[in-house]
């Protein structure tokens, strides 16, 4: 199947690319393997110099990359520039800290000398999604390259121009040829790549079903695997919360990137005593979002990434309404060309509806009213997902105690869930396993080696 770069705002094809055959894939993996073996012998200072150059180019090309993301997946320009800056931050972070994270750790034992070293593991295959087409790649590639590994990228088929731009970025920064390679392969060929003896580990960000498939093959071939999968994050508003602040961040967290984010606040859970007031504010603020052309500087909500994704989302919405949820804002596809769906809110969502149990990957918020804090915690945990959560309340110490009872990879108090290079990122339950970012992320794809000397 060809790679088709399509503008979701107009539904018009931008470019078409031919997928590689097995022979082309085998050569690319062998070249990446050879490049990595040489790269592993470089010093951290040599690697850091190139990674700093990559960060500099990301700063310089912010507008160019933002326009590319706007054209290829509908991300508004302001969000595309912010994503590019976040990529630069991650590159700079690992350029500075990788050597410290990978330094030899001396351990006292009965030996004359014993220590733990962190050695490159080889070539890491990244299977990445379209929703953050630059940052999802950088957050696995920057630590992997700084650790001395090579990277091969199987990007989403809908963002081939972004994938090739990332490969060119690393080449322009001075990284060796083939050390970071974009694989123009079909989803079915991922299995072949995992099975290759030139690939030593795999990381996937994507759907639960894709994660199960990749993890199954990685396990079969005894390859290390990290998965960051779906999420249905709870956004709990307590009785003492600053409702104006909470409503503003609820809108930002739910509708950023057109709601197409694993860590978006998908389940809005106000306690009964403030629910009516909060929901009124939430509706008012969401209705003010400006939907339109992602190439416009004033646009806050662009189109969804594909028409078929919009159709799937709307089916979840209509089913949930039929099951008792109330449409209080939007909840109908926008007329005209493109994959536009307005900011939408479903109120009175209960356990009888699809919106309660399923991830809504688009600009639709599910409001699930809780009678009290105890029920709010129950609702937060009443999901197979466990990526992120946030709690809003003026008594932050009390909110912190509640957060410790939520089964997620991260909990934020009076702040929007987001990734940060300084903190580990990942989930539990059906949201995956393993961690990206911080020192935890760089150590996922190394050989943790014990050396014992007498």
List the CATH number of the domain containing 285: 3.40.309.10
Residues 187 and 267 in one domain: no
Residues 250 and 276 in one domain: yes
Consecutive H or E run containing 364:
strand 364-367
* CA dist., res. 84 & res. 86, Å (int): 5
Instruction: Provide the percentage of residues in the chain whose pLDDT is more than 70.
Output: 100
Instruction: Please say if the pLDDT value at position 143 is more than 90.
Output: yes
Residues 267 and 218 in one domain: no
| 452 confidence band (pLDDT: 50, 70, 90) | very high
* Domain total of the chain: 2
The answer to the question of residue 90 being in a domain is yes
The answer to the question of residue 130 being in a domain is yes
pLDDT at 303: 98
Distances (CA, A) of 165 to 33, 168, 175: 21, 5, 14
The answer to the question of residue 418 being in a domain is no
Instruction: Please say if the pLDDT value at position 310 is more than 90.
Output: yes
Residues 344 and 300 in one domain: yes
Residue with tokens 């989803």: 187
Residues 223 and 310 in one domain: no
Instruction: Please say if the pLDDT value at position 213 is more than 90.
Output: yes
With H, G, I as helix, E, B as strand and everything else as coil, classify residue 17: strand
pLDDT at 411: 98
Which of 162, 258, 262, 410 does the annotation list as catalytic?
A: 262
pTM confidence score: 0.97
Residues 264 and 352 in one domain: yes
Domain containing residue 22? 3-229+429-453
Which of 228, 358, 436, 444 does the annotation list as catalytic?
A: 228
Average model confidence (pLDDT) across the chain? 97
Tell me if residue 262 is catalytic.
Answer: yes
The answer to the question of residue 168 being in a domain is yes
Task: Tell me the pLDDT tens digit for each residue of 409-446.
Answer: 999 999 999 999 999 999 999 999 999 999 999 999 99
Residues 278 and 356 in one domain: yes
pLDDT at 125: 98
Residues 85 and 221 in one domain: yes
Instruction: Please say if the pLDDT value at position 1 is more than 80.
Output: no
Q: Which residue in 31, 9, 15 sits closest to 77, CA to CA?
A: 9
Residues 433 and 406 in one domain: no
Consecutive H or E run containing 55:
helix 44-60
Q: Average pLDDT of 158-174?
A: 98
pLDDT at 2: 79
Task: Tell me the pLDDT tens digit for each residue of 214-268.
Answer: 999 999 999 999 999 999 999 999 999 999 999 999 999 999 999 999 999 999 9
Tell me if residue 72 is catalytic.
Answer: no
């Amino acid at each position: 199947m060809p790679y088709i770069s399509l503008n979701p705002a107009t539904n018009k094809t931008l470019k078409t690319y031919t997928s590689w055959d097995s022979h082309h894939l085998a050569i690319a993996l062998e070249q990446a393997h050879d490049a990595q073996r040489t790269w592993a012998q470089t010093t951290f200072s040599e690697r850091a110099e190139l990674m700093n150059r990559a960060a500099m180019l990301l700063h310089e090309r912010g507008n160019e990359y933002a326009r590319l993301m706007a054209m290829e997946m509908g991300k508004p320009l302001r969000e595309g520039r912010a994503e590019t800056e976040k990529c630069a931050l991650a590159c700079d972070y690992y350029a500075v800290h990788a050597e410290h994270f990978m330094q030899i750790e001396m351990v006292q034992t009965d030996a004359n000398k014993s220590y733990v070293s962190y050695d490159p593991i080889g070539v890491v295959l990244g299977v990445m999604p379209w929703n953050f087409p630059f940052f999802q790649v950088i957050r696995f590639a920057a630590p992997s390259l700084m650790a001395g590994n090579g990277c091969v990228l199987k990007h989403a088929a809908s963002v081939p121009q972004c994938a090739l731009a990332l490969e060119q970025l690393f080449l322009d920064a001075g990284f060796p040829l083939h050390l970071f390679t974009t694989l123009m392969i079909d989803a079915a060929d991922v299995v072949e790549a995992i099975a290759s003896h030139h690939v030593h580990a795999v990381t996937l960000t994507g759907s639960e079903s894709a994660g199960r498939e990749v993890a199954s093959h990685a396990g079969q071939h005894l390859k290390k695997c990290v998965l960051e999968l779906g999420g249905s994050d709870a956004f709990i508003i307590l009785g003492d919360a600053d409702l104006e602040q909470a409503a503003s961040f609820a809108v930002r967290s739910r509708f950023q990137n057109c709601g197409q984010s694993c860590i978006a606040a998908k389940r809005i859970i106000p306690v009964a005593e403030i629910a009516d007031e909060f929901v009124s504010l939430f509706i008012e603020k969401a209705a003010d979002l400006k939907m339109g052309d992602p190439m416009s500087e004033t646009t806050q909500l662009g189109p969804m990434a594909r028409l078929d994704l919009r159709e799937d989302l709307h089916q979840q919405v209509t089913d949930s309404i039929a099951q008792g949820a109330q449409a209080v804002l939007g909840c109908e596809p926008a007329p005209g060309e493109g994959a536009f769906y307005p900011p939408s809110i479903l109120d009175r969502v209960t356990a009888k509806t699809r919106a309660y149990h399923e991830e809504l990957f688009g600009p639709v918020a599910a409001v699930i009213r809780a009678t009290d804090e105890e029920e709010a915690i129950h609702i937060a945990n009443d999901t197979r997902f466990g990526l992120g959560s946030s709690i809003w309340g003026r008594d932050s110490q009390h909110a912190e105690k509640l957060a410790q009872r939520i089964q997620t990879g991260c909990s934020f108090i009076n702040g929007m869930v987001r990734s940060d290079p300084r903190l580990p990122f990942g989930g539990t339950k059906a949201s995956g396993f393993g961690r990206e970012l911080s020192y935890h992320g760089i150590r996922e794809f190394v050989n943790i080696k014990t050396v014992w000397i007498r």
